[in-house]
Homo-oligomer: A and B are copies of this chain.
Amino acid sequence: MFKIGEFSKLCRVPVSALRYYANIGLLEPAHTDKFTGYRYYLATQLPRLNRILALKDLGLSLEQIIKILNENISPDEIRGMLRIRQAEIQQIVDEEQARLARVATRLLQIQQEGKMPTQEVVLKAIESQHVISLRQIIATPDMVGAMLTEAFMTLGMKGIQPVAPPIAIFHDQEFKPADMDVEVAIPVDGGGQGDIALDGERWLRVRQLPAHPLVASIIHAGHFETIEQTYAVIGTWLAQNGYRPTGASYEVYLTAPEADTPPVTEIIFPIEKING
Name A's B-contacting residues (CB within 8 A): 9-10, 12, 43-44, 46-47, 50-51, 53-55, 57-59, 68, 75, 78-79, 82-83, 85-86, 89-90, 92-93, 96-97, 99-100, 102-104, 106-107, 110-111, 114-116, 118-124, 164-165, 217-219, 221, 254-255, 261, 264, 266
Contacts and interface: CB of A to CB of B under 8 A. Distances in A.
Nearest to A83: B107
B59 A99 contact: yes
A260 to B, nearest CB: 12
Nearest to A56: B122
18 contacts: A9-B164, A10-B254, A12-B124, A44-B264, A46-B219, A46-B264, A47-B219, A51-B120, A54-B121, A58-B102, A59-B99, A68-B116, A82-B103, A89-B96, A89-B103, A93-B93, A93-B97, A93-B100
A271 B25 CA distance: 33
A120 B217 CA distance: 48
Contact of A255 (B43, B59, B96, B119): B43
A50 B230 CA distance: 14
Task: Provide the main secondary structure of the chain A interface.
Answer: helix
B47 A119 contact: yes
A75 B122 contact: no
Contacts of A82: 103, 106-107, 110
A7 B252 CA distance: 14
Nearest to A252: B10
Contacts of A264: 43-44, 46
A120 B58 contact: no
Contacts of A116: 68, 75, 78
